[in-house]
């Protein structure tokens, strides 16, 4: 990917973030928190934080950038990376790489496509990836948490038991997805055990600073914070590509149009984004639009790429 940017070598992120925060503060209408997960419904939709991490680990932030929030579907990126690192292209025999065009928890396409989910970022696809990681590690959620703690440099990251319990109590649709795929032989583990792993991984709490740092391996083309390689350069490119085309539910086209970066959102209000070879970002604001993406988060990333010229296009 070629990064088009104006004077990126001398770019100073802090004043840009402060300008964005001021603009967001003046913006009316921030959407609504995810009310179908009771533990998230009480979040303040006007909360806002944003962080940028450079490849050397320097982090800039503004607003609530050190406030932990529920990562939700953002974790799907890291589970995919851990799974891809273990089995390479074999993983893609069980999950596709195409946008779904349907809601993230839809059952419709699974029947037409014999239990193979369209991509790893809709719920069905994430369940498959978690299932395969569980088979290889015996504790997919624990493996993910250890990775995030290491890459973020924050050993205090942990699961939120209340959020996990809330999702379990309202997890019938995910159970249906898992059972349906199991009927096609695309799930190896018992569905209750898989759902426990999946809900735990989605419940992890982390801040914008934590997630910007943890995502940096994708900007470093697969290289971890300690200099070891998790993914090949080609595998890192694959994940960035799927983030660009599938990372924001069925609004990925609009996100690519507005922001122009690989990104992954979560219904907790967070969005991570990658500028390959340059930096990573995380923005958080709990108010969501009708497609499940943070209203202020998308607007902030749009302004970031406009002000900096940093984009993959």
pLDDT, tens digit (0-9, with 9 covering 90-100), for 29-46? 889 998 877 778 888 989
| pLDDT of amino acid 26 | 92
**Is 264 part of the annotated catalytic residue set?**
no
Of the listed 59, 77, 267, 312, which one is catalytic? 267
- List for the chain the helix, strand, coil content (%; round to 5): 50, 10, 40
Of the listed 77, 100, 198, 294, which one is catalytic? 198
Beta strands in the chain (DSSP E): 49-54, 59-63, 69-70, 205-206, 263-265, 270-275, 279-284
Of the listed 76, 106, 265, 312, which one is catalytic? 76
Of the listed 70, 73, 166, 265, which one is catalytic? 73
**Is 60 part of the annotated catalytic residue set?**
no
Task: Residue 51: name the closest of 279, 313, 289, 294 by CA.
Answer: 279
**Is 198 part of the annotated catalytic residue set?**
yes
Question: Sign of torsion, CA 262 12 15 43?
Answer: positive
Of the listed 59, 249, 283, 285, which one is catalytic? 249
Mean pLDDT by 10 residues, the chain (313 residues): 40 95 91 83 91 97 97 98 97 94 75 92 96 98 98 98 90 95 97 98 97 98 98 98 95 96 97 98 96 96 97 94
**Is 274 part of the annotated catalytic residue set?**
no
| pLDDT of amino acid 37 | 77
Q: Is residue 33 within 8 Å of 259, Cβ to Cβ?
A: no
The structure's pTM equals 0.94
Provide the β-strand partners of residue 282: 51, 272
**Is 77 part of the annotated catalytic residue set?**
no
In angstroms, rounded to a whole number, what is the distance separating the alpha carbons of residues 217 and 81? 10
Q: 253-267 burial, b if ≥16 CB within 10 A, otherwise e? A: eebbebbbbbbbbbb
| DSSP, res 77 | H
């Amino acid at each position: 990917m070629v990064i088009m940017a104006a004077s990126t070598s001398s770019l100073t992120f802090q004043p840009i973030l402060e300008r964005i925060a001021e603009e967001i503060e003046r913006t009316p209408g921030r959407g609504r928190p995810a009310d179908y997960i009771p533990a998230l419904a009480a979040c303040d939709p006007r909360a806002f934080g944003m962080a940028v991490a450079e490849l050397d680990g320097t982090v800039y932030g503004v607003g609530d950038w050190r406030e932990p929030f529920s990562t939700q579907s953002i974790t799907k990126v890291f589970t995919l990376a851990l799974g891809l690192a273990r089995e390479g292209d074999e993983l893609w025999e069980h999950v596709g790489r195409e946008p779904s065009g349907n809601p993230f928890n839809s059952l419709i396409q699974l029947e037409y496509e014999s239990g193979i989910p369209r991509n790893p970022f809709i719920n069905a696809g994430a369940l498959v990836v978690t299932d395969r990681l569980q088979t290889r590690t015996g504790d997919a959620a624990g493996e993910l948490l250890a990775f995030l703690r290491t890459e973020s440099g924050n050993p205090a990251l942990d699961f939120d038991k209340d959020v996990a319990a809330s999702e379990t109590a309202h997890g019938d649709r995910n159970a249906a997805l898992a059972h349906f795929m199991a009927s096609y032989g695309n799930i190896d583990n018992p569905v209750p055990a898989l759902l426990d792993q999946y809900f735990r991984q989605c419940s992890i709490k982390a801040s914008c600073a934590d997630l910007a740092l943890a995502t940096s391996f994708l900007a470093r083309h697969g290289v971890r914070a300690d200099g070891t390689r998790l993914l090949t350069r080609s595998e890192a490119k694959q994940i960035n590509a799927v983030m660009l085309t599938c990372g924001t539910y069925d609004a990925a086209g609009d996100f690519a149009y507005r922001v122009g970066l690989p990104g992954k959102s979560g219904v907790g209000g967070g969005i991570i984004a990658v500028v390959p070879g340059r930096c990573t970002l995380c923005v958080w604001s709990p108010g969501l639009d009708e497609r499940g993406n943070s209203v202020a988060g998308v607007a902030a990333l749009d302004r970031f790429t406009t002000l900096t010229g940093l984009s993959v296009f």
